[in-house]
Chains A and B, each alone.
Chain A
Amino acid sequence: MVRGKPDLEIKIGGLVLKNPVLTASGTFGYGREFASLVDPADLGAVVVKGISLEPRSGNPPPRIVETPCGMLNAIGLENVGVEKFVSEKLPFLRENGVCVIVNILGDSVEEYGRLAEILDNAPGIHAIEVNISCPNVKQGGVAFGLDPEAARAVTAEVRKKCSLPVIIKLSPNVTDITSIARAAEDGGADGVSLINTLQGMAIDIQTRKPRLANVIGGLSGPAIRPVALRMVWQTAKAVSVPVLGVGGITTPEDALEFLIAGASAVQIGTGNFINPRATIQVIEGIEKYLIEHDMNSIHDLIGSLNG
């Protein structure tokens, strides 16, 4: 019997993605940079580099350092700002039929709301992902993502200011990530993505100086994968909205683990640096696995962890 291809479609709020493989913010630029290696329209979605109201120039170098099976980054949220994003970066994505999710960041609840409002009116954007790992400047600088009440407030504000699906990107630097996930769901999130980077540090023992100018950076890559997987599993049980799994995914096998743990989709970050075609290979690998395991749909796999 000739079977059709398995169904890879997933939904986040009202948004239908053709497959469950996305790029993670900050690791695929604005989609264009990889275009000669990967057709961004073949991906479930491209999550673009975090955008703020005003352009940001970022931290002084050194900004990255390699660590065992991982890397630390302290880029400092360098970005072109929302105005330039909409006028210079978005048209390419729109004209090429790319599913675009815009990652946003701000210093205050109002700033997130303002960004949501501006992006709601820009054609070619399919969803918003809210990076809540940023300091809440008006409230003593504690990151929104560390406090359930602040996370709920940001989510509700973004929800109110736009009609697009809203995904909240969670910080792993908390005691209980499920409480933040539930707060985001309460605030009206259509999905949650996790994890953002884990805070880390490295020292040059010869000079006794920190290896990053910013001293502290965010750890990503295969080193964080088991932590991310555990948090995704816990969160998928705690909320009813879709969970997007992020953290150390570079191969189809890695992605399958997250889907089985309950993620509806995965994002590939540092994996793009290691192998620029990782996203495409993961899509192909998931499809192959479904066929080999006689599954017609990705939904047969999602959350199918055996006790």
Chain B
Amino acid sequence: MKQIDAEILKIEPVAKDIFRLTLKAPDIAEAAAPGQFVMIRPVSGFDPLLPRPFSLHDWSEKQGTIVILFRVVGKGTGILAQSRHGRKLQVVGPLGKGFDITSAESVCLVGGGIGIAPLLGLAKRLPEADAYNEIAVLLGGASGEELAPLAECLDIPGLAVRLATDDGTLGHHGVVTDLMENHMTRDRDWLVLSCGPMPMLKAVAHLCRKNGWPCQVSLESVMACGMGVCLGCAVKSPAGNGHEGYLHVCKDGPVFWESDVAW
């Protein structure tokens, strides 16, 4: 974990309210793993006060850069979106526990909305595709307008991306769990790796439980420190799994086995 004043190399609009931010951060790029995050302080003053957590969308050890994909939802992200290249931002990372991709026969990446952010860095770093029977990428969103530019961010040669939208304007008319049911054949040992809004993750976890698919989810929570000291990012854990009631998103996660979360 490092704290650096990272220079903005590039900030590009990807779609309405969605931006891709490239930062010079060699020490973080070098240590990064899929699913980990960084804490970025949008201002050097006190309003907003706290740094904001963002998943690592991608990074390059060779170029010494990290990339964040973010949606403008409030003050901090609004300020980030208006930053220009050359400005320096306080960045701490890489933080947290990422995806565990050690053992699987086939993997299914499931993303929703801006939750697709960590899936790029993950997809690029899965062991060689022929180590798996299949790598499936299933994405969901509200509309084609929202989802199309996000899906483009995941455009990796050799990866087939399947889409579902709530309003049917792109891909399957329905939710991402429909795609899972249609696509994930029973004859394979699947590992599901998922990131998105809480209701989606809940539905994904539920479906995986029903089908016996092991599943990891990347959770969000309000954070103050991002490094396991404020204990503000608690999520309930089921009784009797040894976590004394709560897990902490920043240090026990943000990626958890679905079975460790009390849905």
Contacts and interface: CB of A to CB of B under 8 A. Distances in A.
Contacts of A2: none
Contacts of B227: 29, 33-34, 276
Contacts of A60: 234, 236
B126 to A, nearest CB: 28
A62 B49 CA distance: 18
Interface string B73-103: 0000000000000000010100000000000
A95 to B, nearest CB: 20
Contact of B232 (A36, A70, A75): A75
A274 interface: yes
B1 A75 contact: no
Interface residues of B, number: 31
Interface string A70-89: 11010100100000000000
Given A28-B229, A73-B230, A61 B49 contact: no
A56 to B, nearest CB: 9
B49 A274 contact: yes
A63 B232 contact: yes
A275 interface: yes
A-side interface mostly: loop
Interface in A26-45: 26-29, 33-34, 36-37
Given A66-B50, A71-B50, A61 B230 contact: no
Contact of B222 (A55, A65, A68, A272): A65
A65 B236 CA distance: 18
B213 to A, nearest CB: 27
B230 A57 contact: no
A61 B231 CA distance: 10
B231 A75 contact: yes
A276 B224 CA distance: 11
B64 interface: no
A70 B223 CA distance: 13
B49 A29 contact: no
B245 A71 contact: no
A114 interface: no
**Most chain A CB neighbours (cut-off 10 Å) among B92, B224, B233:** B224
Interface of A: 26-29, 33-34, 36-37, 49, 55, 57-58, 60-66, 68-71, 73, 75, 78, 221-222, 250, 270, 272-277
Q: Which 8 A-B pairs have the closest CB atoms?
A: A29-B229, A64-B232, A57-B245, A69-B46, A273-B225, A273-B224, A36-B1, A63-B232
